[in-house]
Every structure is written in C-alpha cells, then in structure tokens.
C-alpha cells in the first residue's frame, strides 16, 4: 500500500478519501433515462438529517415530564427568539414548526419513494433485500411519528396516544403486556411520556441508523434499477452520476427543505390545551398519517375490533415484506404487471380514501385552545404548569377542584360542582386572611391596602393563570406587592382550589 493512501496510525489518508469519493460520486454511473423520481430517496435522507438537527436543538429546551412538558413547548414558541437582519425572529417557534412539518414530509417522501420502487418493479431480484430494508425503515419512521406527537403533552397528543396504545393492546397474547410496557402502567402518565421520549430520541435512532446505512450500502452495490428493464436483462449504466444526477438529487432535496421551512415560518406547529384526562366529549384525532387506520377502527366494535387493529395492519405489513417473493415475474414495466399494479392501486386507494374520510370528520370538532400565555418576569425559569391530572385534594376538601378545573374544565360542569368550588374558595379566602387586603362582596380590606374586589376581577384568565399567579405573584406582575403561596404556607391543593374559584367568580 502506498504512503499516500494511509495516514499515520492507519487512518485513511487523502488517497483513500479520493478513492471513496470516486467510487461513490465522481466515477459512478447510472442507467440512462433516470429522472427526478429517482431523487426521492436522497431528499428523504436530507430531510431526516434536518429532523435530527432540529430535534437536538429542541431537546435543549424540552422537559419530558407532565408537570413541565407543555410549558416548555409554550416557552419554545413564545420566548426563544433572536434578532435576524434587524428584526426579531421567533426561532423556537420556527424550529418546532420545522420539526413538526418535517415529520409529515418524511412520511410523504418515504411513501412516494416506496410507490416509485413498486411502480417500476425495482423490488425484484437482485434487490429483494433492499426492498425489505426500505419497508423496515418506513416502519421505524412511523414509529417516530407515533412516539413524537405525545411529547407536547396537549389534548390531541394525550388522547391520540391513548387510542394508539389501546390498538397495541388488541394484539393477541402479547398486546396487553406491550401496551403496559409503552404506558409504564395501566394508564397514561409520567412514565408514558418518559418512555415515548426515550423511544423517540434513543431507541428509534439506534434502529434507523444501521438500517439506513445498510440501505445506502445496498444501493451503492446494486445501483439504480434501469427503467423498464426485465429481470433477466443486463443492467446497462451509461449516464454519469456526477454532476447530472447529483444536481437532480440536490434540487429535489432543496425544494423539500424550502417547502418545510416556508410552512414552518408561516404556520409554526399546532398546540391545543394542556392534557386533561377528565375532559368530557373530546374527540381524539391522530396525525394525518394514522387517520386511515383510525377511521377504519371506527367501523368495527366488539370482538371484530381485531380486524382493524391486528389483521389489516399486520396483513399489509406482511404483504409488503413478502412482495419480492410473491411477484416473481421477470417484467418490471407497470404495463406488463397488471395484477400487481391492480392490487397496489386498490390498496393505495383504500389508504387515501380512509385518510381523506378521517380528515374530513376530524375537521368537524373545534380543537381545544391553549390557555393565555403568561410572560414570566426575567425568564429565569420555565413556569410550572397546572397539573394535567387531578392534584391531591386538600384535607377536608370534599368538593375541591380537580386538575380538569386547572385546565379549564371539571367542576364547573355542574351546579353542585360550581357551588362546591365557591364554598371551598370562600373558605380558603377566610383561612388565608385574604380580606386583610382584598374586598370580598364589598367587605374587607382591613389593612387599607386597596387591593381589588376578588369577585369583580376582569381579564379573562383561567385557573391555570391564577394558579401560576398565586405561586409567585411578583414573577407574573413585578409591580405588585403580594405574598406568594410559599409565604402563606399554602399547599398545592389549596392553591389549585383557590385558583379554580378565582377563575369561576371572575368569569361571571
């Protein structure tokens, strides 16, 4: 071996690098007639790299716990900003939007790439293993989508994940154990969020990287399938890979990134109200790439639920994996494969039809709205959220509010519940001597502080805002002189109950 090909210590030197670039780029050839559709795989790879980079940046601010996940997302959307070309730019909102819409772009590009390979018969020998690895990668990408949309910890994330985990539970024998493993217990909660986060950022990347590496290696060794060539014909490669096809690949990848960036800049990423398991009448709506399966689920009930949860998805996955051995003909041209093309188009029509049906029905329900955002003081900390689930009740507070009240629902839903909130709230006002500074029904303010009437406050704040305000009033309103919950030795149960009362009486 020459000295120019190996650096000291055995590392590849300039000669080795030149050889690698020559083999993979400069001296590589592709079949004649290769067009832009053959660039979808590269565009998918580029978008996946962008997803990894934006995900790492988002992880710097994200807190994977039910108490702080939602507020860390709001912090990203509202507070992570920078100055660009003399204008303030919401970089956190853009990054989250790019990652959100990038996930959809990944599924679209992967689906189009798979369709192109199917339509051109590129799954036939000698590329059967390449097809199987591609199908496995698609499964991992769907796993990224499923584990990722729980992380904002809003209503859509919570209930859609609950439906998804319940689908897993329908798998015969192993389903219940798998569902408990995903949830970390019998119900969705803090362990679920931790496990979904770990799957999303650790386990699934660990699966994707070797699969993607194997896929690239097989593509390099086997090359691009010649358009229309039969299996038994020699594969002629007479067109240069560089610069012709490289330009096509870069152009498609650039267009994909630009489209994602434009949508992210204009729309950001959606966010609903904080997760609340006690919300009544909420209609779960998964991301669009699971809407078809979700809509199919609505057509079955009872023991037949195994059809949409196990038989259909399992059958489709098996059919895709075995396709190279089920279609062993030598023809690759779509016109000469009528049976395979008919089955494929029927399956595609069913997926598109169910997805469109599910999307149309999902537009009927008005999505829940996030509470008003509270800009906190010097931004030295991310404010704790109202608990997404029922907090511990204060001793003796039989009618105390639940976590649903803090999120905007719960006890106010009935006359008895509203009366209990009022009774508990006024009892707490007396217990913590709030009328030393405030008026209550026109009486109080024994210290002459001139604080506002408690039952006459305006501003449209909900229980989440009042709970945060009581936690540390000066952080929310630096110009106010008011003791915090800690100063008053107020426990979390009393703070939640008092916040629910303030939200109720100020909304009258």
Q: Could you read off the pLDDT of 285-344 as tens digits, one per residue?
A: 888 999 999 899 888 877 888 899 889 999 999 999 999 999 999 999 999 999 999 999
Instruction: Report yes or no: 296 and 312 within 8 Å, Cβ to Cβ.
Output: yes
Question: Is 464:274 a contact under the CB 8 Å cutoff?
Answer: yes
Are residues 324 and 126 in contact, defined by beta-carbon separation less than 8 angstroms?
Answer: no
Predicted pLDDT at 415: 67
β-bridge partners, 338: none
pTM exceeding the 0.85 threshold for the entire prediction = no
Q: pLDDT by residue (tens digit) across 402-458?
A: 333 433 344 344 567 778 888 888 888 888 888 888 888 878 877 777 788 887 776
**What percentage of residues in the chain have a pLDDT greater than 70?**
86
Residue bearing tokens 């051995």: 325
442: left (phi over 0), alpha (psi -120 to 50) or beta: left
The interaxial angle of helices 128-148 and 312-326, nearest 10 deg, is 160
Query: One fold for both 28-278 and 403-506?
Result: no
Average pLDDT, the chain: 83
In the DSSP assignment, the letter for residue 262 is H
**What fold is seen in the domain 28-278?**
Cytochrome Bc1 Complex; Chain C (1.20.810)
C-alpha triplet 357, 359, 362: angle, nearest 5°: 110
Q: What pLDDT, in 10s, does the model give residues 160-202? A: 998 889 888 888 888 889 999 999 988 888 999 999 999 999 9
Q: How far apart are CA 68 and CA 345, in angstroms?
A: 45
Q: What is the pLDDT of residue 289?
A: 92
Pick from 418, 425, 503: which is nearest to 461 by CA?
A: 503
Asked whether the beta carbons of 90 and 83 are under 8 A apart, the reply is: no
Q: For residues 365 and 358, what is the distance between their CA atoms, to the nearest angstrom?
A: 12
Q: CA separation (Å) from 25 to 39, 64, 226, 240, 244?
A: 14, 42, 18, 9, 11
Per-residue pLDDT tens digits for 91-133: 999 999 999 999 999 999 999 999 999 999 999 999 999 999 9
Cα–Cα distance between 479 and 150 in angstroms, integer? 38
The helix/strand/coil state of 83 is strand
Q: At residue 492, does pLDDT exceed 90?
A: no
Domain residue ranges in the chain: 28-278, 403-506
Domain 403-506 carries which CATH code? Answer: 1.10.760
Pairwise CA distance, residues 77 & 68, whole Å = 14
Q: Is the pLDDT of residue 76 over 50?
A: yes
Once rounded to an integer, what is the mean pLDDT over residues 129-145?
A: 97
Task: Give 202's contacts (C-beta < 8 A, 6+ positions apart).
Answer: none
At 250, list the tokens.
Answer: 């870069």
- Alpha carbon distance 333, 404 (integer Å): 58
């Amino acid at each position: 071996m020459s000295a120019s090909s190996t650096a000291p210590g055995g590392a590849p030197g300039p000669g080795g690098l030149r050889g690698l670039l020559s083999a993979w780029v400069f001296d590589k050839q592709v079949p004649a007639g290769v067009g832009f559709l053959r660039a979808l795989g590269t565009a998918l790879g580029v978008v996946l790299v962008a997803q990894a980079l934006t995900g790492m940046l988002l992880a710097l601010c994200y807190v994977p716990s039910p108490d702080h996940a939602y507020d860390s997302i709001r912090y990203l959307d509202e507070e992570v900003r920078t100055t660009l070309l003399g204008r303030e730019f919401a970089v956190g909102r853009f990054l989250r939007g790019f990652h959100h819409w990038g996930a959809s772009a990944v599924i679209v590009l992967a689906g189009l790439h798979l369709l192109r390979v199917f339509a051109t018969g590129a799954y036939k020998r000698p590329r059967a293993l390449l097809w199987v690895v591609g199908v496995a990668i698609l499964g991992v990408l769907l796993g990224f989508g499923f584990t990722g949309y729980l992380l904002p910890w809003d209503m859509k994330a919570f209930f859609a994940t609950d439906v998804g985990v319940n689908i897993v539970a329908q798998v015969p024998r192993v389903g219940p154990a798998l569902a408990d493993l995903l949830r970390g217990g019998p119900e969705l909660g803090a362990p679920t969020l931790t496990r979904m986060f770990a799957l999303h950022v650790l386990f699934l990347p660990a699966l994707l990287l070797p699969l993607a590496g194997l896929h690239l290696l097989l593509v390099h060794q086997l090359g691009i399938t010649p358009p229309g060539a039969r299996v038994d014909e020699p594969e002629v490669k007479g067109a240069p890979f560089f610069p012709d096809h490289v330009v096509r690949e870069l152009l498609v990848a650039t267009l994909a990134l630009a489209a994602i960036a434009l949508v992210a800049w204009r729309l950001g990423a959606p966010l609903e109200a904080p997760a609340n398991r006690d919300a009544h009448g909420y209609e779960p709506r998964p991301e669009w790439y699971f809407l078809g399966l979700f809509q199919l689920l609505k057509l079955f009930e009872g023991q037949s639920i195994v059809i949409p949860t196990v038989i259909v998805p399992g059958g489709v996955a098996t059919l895709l994996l075995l396709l190279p051995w089920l279609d062993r003909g030598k023809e690759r041209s779509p016109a000469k494969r009528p049976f395979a093309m008919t089955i494929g188009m029927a399956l595609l029509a069913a997926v598109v039809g169910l997805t469109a049906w599910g999307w149309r029905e999902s537009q009927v329900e008005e999505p829940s709205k996030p509470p008003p955002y509270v800009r906190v003081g010097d931004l030295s900390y991310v404010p704790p959220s109202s608990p997404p689930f029922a907090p511990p009740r204060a001793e003796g507070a039989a009618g105390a509010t639940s976590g649903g009240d803090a999120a905007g629902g719960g006890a106010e839903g009935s006359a008895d519940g509203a009366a209990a909130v009022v009774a508990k709230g006024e009892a707490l006002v007396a217990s913590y001597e709030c009328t030393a500074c405030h008026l209550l029904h026109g009486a109080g303010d024994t210290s002459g502080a001139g604080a506002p009437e408690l039952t006459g406050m305006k501003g449209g704040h909900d229980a989440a805002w009042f709970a945060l305000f009581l936690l540390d009033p000066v952080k929310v309103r630096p110009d106010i002189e008011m003791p915090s919950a800690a100063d008053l030795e107020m426990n979390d149960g009393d703070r939640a109950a008092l916040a629910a009362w303030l939200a109720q009486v100020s909304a009258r």
